[in-house]
Amino acid sequence: MADSVLIERPTEGVGLIRINRPEARNALNMEVRKLIAKHLTEMGEDDAIRCIVLTGNDKSFAAGADIKEMAGAGTIEMLARGTHKLWRTIAACPKPVIAAVNGFALGGGCELAMTCDIIVAGESAKFGQPEVKIGIIPGGGGTQRLPRAVGKYKAMRYVLTGDLFSAKEAFDMGLVSELVPDAEVEKRAVEMAKQIAELSPLAIQQAKEAVLRGMDAALDTGLALETKAIQILFSSQDQKEGMAAFIEKRKPKFSGR
Ligand code: CO8
């Protein structure tokens, strides 16, 4: 049987993680979630990888948690599975992660995309948090990340009805970073990842951390965090190289030091 999660290196500096359960619309069973967490952790520690693309196939990014795997589970079984720890590991990746979304991003699939930093979606992708239709609620961060991304009233509209929404609507609401023709989703995500991979990994890591931690804090705390982060970067060779290259009118060569 084929691996349920594949890893690739589409171009220098970029790692790609591909969910590969087409027979189940890429539903996130425990194996898939553990593998995504494992690969993100490993890529997060690999100096040769500076940006990561997470994708599915042309029909589905991920159609949610695997309903068949959890239908009979009780509270203690769900507790023992510890999926919240896997979500935390995924969210803790220090490098930028770009979700390349074609087809369905539903339930845990939508939550997985929202755990990424940038979402590139194909025009016919479909998003949604349909959990209420099967008697539960989003459990991978959807009740928190969706309102933070699109505001309370749009989030409530979809979390409380379970209705799906189009990629265009997701884009208009601010959930999708870039909307592209279906056939170009992966290409565009890899291209953007390559662009990020060519920048200073130190600056990129500090920028990601400042945005994410700042979103969780009061404005003043977030601003203080940003100030510290930019000050730290002035100890880096990359800052000296980046500014020297600008002044000397050449392309910078960032070392991550
Ligand atoms: N889980 C398990 N199997 C699935 C899932 C899923 N989420 N989605 C699709 N499949 C399977 C189908 O059962 C079917 O299998 P089979 O061929 O054996 O019958 C196969 O994939 C193909 O599916 P369809 O025939 O339904 O394909 P369609 O193209 O007609 O429809 C849809 C695709 C719209 C994606 C449809 O399959 C669907 O509605 N799927 C369920 C979507 C959903 O409700 N997702 C939310 C799941 S709950 C969740 O994510 C909560 C996460 C929080 C957990 C936290 C735990 C602490």
Q: Left if phi > 0, otherwise alpha if psi is -120 to 50, otherwise beta: which for 62?
A: beta
Rounded to whole angstroms, the Cα distance separating 57 from 65 reads 16
Give how far Cα 213 sits from Cα of 102, 146, 209, 233, Å: 29, 17, 6, 17
Task: Tell me which residues are annotated as active site.
Answer: 65, 108, 111, 131
Backbone angles phi, psi at 97, to 5 degrees: -120, 125
Q: Looking at the structure, tell me whether residues 65 and 46 fall in a common domain.
A: yes
The pLDDT-based confidence of 226 (bands split at 50, 70, 90) is: very high
The pLDDT-based confidence of 2 (bands split at 50, 70, 90) is: confident
Helix (H, G, I), strand (E, B) or coil at 43: helix
Q: Looking at the structure, tell me whether residues 82 and 27 fall in a common domain.
A: yes
Ligand 1 pocket, residue 141 CB under 6 Å: no
Q: Which residues contact 150 (CB under 8 A, 6 or more apart)?
A: 173, 174, 175
pLDDT at residue 1 is higher than 80: no
Rounded to whole angstroms, the Cα distance separating 146 from 233 reads 32
Q: What is the DSSP letter of 104?
A: E
Q: For 138-183, how does the pLDDT look when each residue is reduced to its tens digit (9 = 90+)?
A: 999 999 999 999 999 999 999 999 999 999 999 999 999 999 999 9
31-57 b/e (C-beta count within 10 Å ≥ 16 → b): ebbebbbebbeebbeeeebbbbbbbbb
Q: Looking at the structure, tell me whether residues 225 and 187 fall in a common domain.
A: no
- CA nearest ligand 1 atom 56, residue: 139
The enclosing H or E element of 98 equals: strand 97-101
The pLDDT-based confidence of 229 (bands split at 50, 70, 90) is: very high
In a domain, 12, yes or no: yes
Last residue of a domain, one of 154, 177, 197: 197
- CA nearest ligand 1 atom 4, residue: 24
Measured in Å, residue 107 CA sits from the centre of ligand 1 at 9
- Residue 61 near residue 33 (C-beta atoms within 8 A): no
Q: How confident is the prediction for the chain on average, in pLDDT?
A: 97
Q: What is the mean pLDDT of residues 67-71?
A: 97
Q: What is the DSSP letter of 14?
A: E
In a domain, 255, yes or no: no
What is the pLDDT at residue 152?
A: 98
Domain that holds residue 243: 201-248
Q: Calculate what percentage of the chain has a pLDDT beyond 90.
A: 99
Q: Looking at the structure, tell me whether residues 112 and 187 fall in a common domain.
A: yes
In a domain, 94, yes or no: yes
Give how far Cα 181 sits from Cα of 76, 102, 127, 167, 217, Å: 44, 10, 16, 11, 36
Beta-bridge partners for 52:
15, 97
Q: Looking at the structure, tell me whether residues 228 and 165 fall in a common domain.
A: no
Flag the least confident range among 43-52, 79-88, 198-207, 221-230.
79-88
In a domain, 80, yes or no: yes
What is the pLDDT at residue 98?
A: 98
Helix (H, G, I), strand (E, B) or coil at 107: coil
Measured in Å, residue 33 CA sits from the centre of ligand 1 at 15
What is the pLDDT at residue 221?
A: 97
Q: How many domains does the chain have?
A: 2
CA–centroid distance for 191 within its chain: 16
**pTM, full prediction:** 0.97
- CA nearest ligand 1 atom 36, residue: 63
How many other CB atoms sit within 10 Å of the CB of residue 200? 22
